[in-house]
Amino acid sequence: MDSKVRVMIVEDHPLFGQGLRRVIESESDMELVAEIRDGREAVRQALDLSPQVILMDVNLPTLNGLQATREIKAERDDVAIIVLTAYHEDEQLFHALRAGAAAYFSKDVSASELLRAIRQVARGNFVIGDTVMGKPQVASWMLKRFEELAVFGESPDEMFVPLSPREMEILQHITRGSSNKEIARALGISRQTVKNHMSAILRKLAVNDRTQAAVLALRRGWIRLQDTAGPGSSA
């Protein structure tokens, strides 16, 4: 049968990855094309293997799942990405959708719910909660929530835009305890430029200082503890 849904798993936790593999391999209409444990490698393999659906963890080495999603969608808009995370919240959902995800689930999602979502996104639909939506519906849904935020004086465009690659790079240095001077030297930019990026990071994450920003990034899985061990790691 040539109409099998080609699925790629991007998950670096062996036990959870094995569970996903069993779920996919148990379905006669699905084909597992690859299991990847690294965000940067996921981008490369997505372009080489042309999966229809990617199950994407957020907390990954070298490149987090939201960054990888954004890079993949920039090159291959026909790939549907389902973001899976241990840290579930509405704001993270917006980050995932803005990065290009077609669905978003916490890792306690049931097998039947995940399989339903895979089949729906493979057809070009989006899955938000229990609701299947087309692209126009998703756009309207997001706009409505942006407007709700504006009523309360929030800036939805800032609040739900994921950090830029440079801001993520700086945030990773911050989680290592680097000073602005050290960050500037490592990245080859001025200290004032670091300060400007830092102000943008604090504003977007709605936190008061760099410590809170680092804690939030680690808690959401944007940056891994393994990647903060020292200056030898690359962002």
Write out pLDDT tens, residues 142-172: 777 666 655 444 554 444 456 777 888 888 8
Determine contact, residues 229/218, Cβ cutoff 8 Å: no
80, β-bridge pairs: 53
Read off the pLDDT of residues 91-105 as tens digits, 9 standing for 90 and up: 778 778 888 999 999
Read off the pLDDT of residues 167-200 as tens digits, 9 standing for 90 and up: 888 888 888 888 899 999 999 999 899 999 888 8
Q: Helix, strand or coil for residue 130? A: coil
Shared domain check, 212 and 133: no
Q: pTM, whole model, 2 decimals?
A: 0.69
Amino acid letter, residue 199: S
- Give all strands (DSSP E) within the chain, no chain letters: 5-10, 30-36, 53-57, 80-85, 103-106, 126-128, 131-133
CATH classification at residue 54: 3.40.50.2300
Shared domain check, 167 and 127: no
Is 234 part of a structural domain of the chain?
no
* Count of domains forming the chain: 2
Amino acid letter, residue 101: A
Shared domain check, 90 and 10: yes
Residue 219: which domain range? 163-228
Rounded to an integer, what distance in angstroms lies between the CA atom of residue 154 and that of residue 175?
26
Domain limit, last residue, from 108, 141, 174: 141
The structure tokens listed for 11 are: 């998950």
Shared domain check, 219 and 188: yes
Task: Return all residues near 2 (Cβ < 8 A) that are at least 6 apart.
Answer: none
Shared domain check, 189 and 79: no
Amino acid letter, residue 221: G
Instruction: Give the per-residue pLDDT at 68.
Output: 92
Rounded to an integer, what distance in angstroms lies between the CA atom of residue 28 and that of residue 175?
44
Shared domain check, 126 and 20: yes
Shared domain check, 176 and 89: no
Rounded to an integer, what distance in angstroms lies between the CA atom of residue 157 and that of residue 194?
22
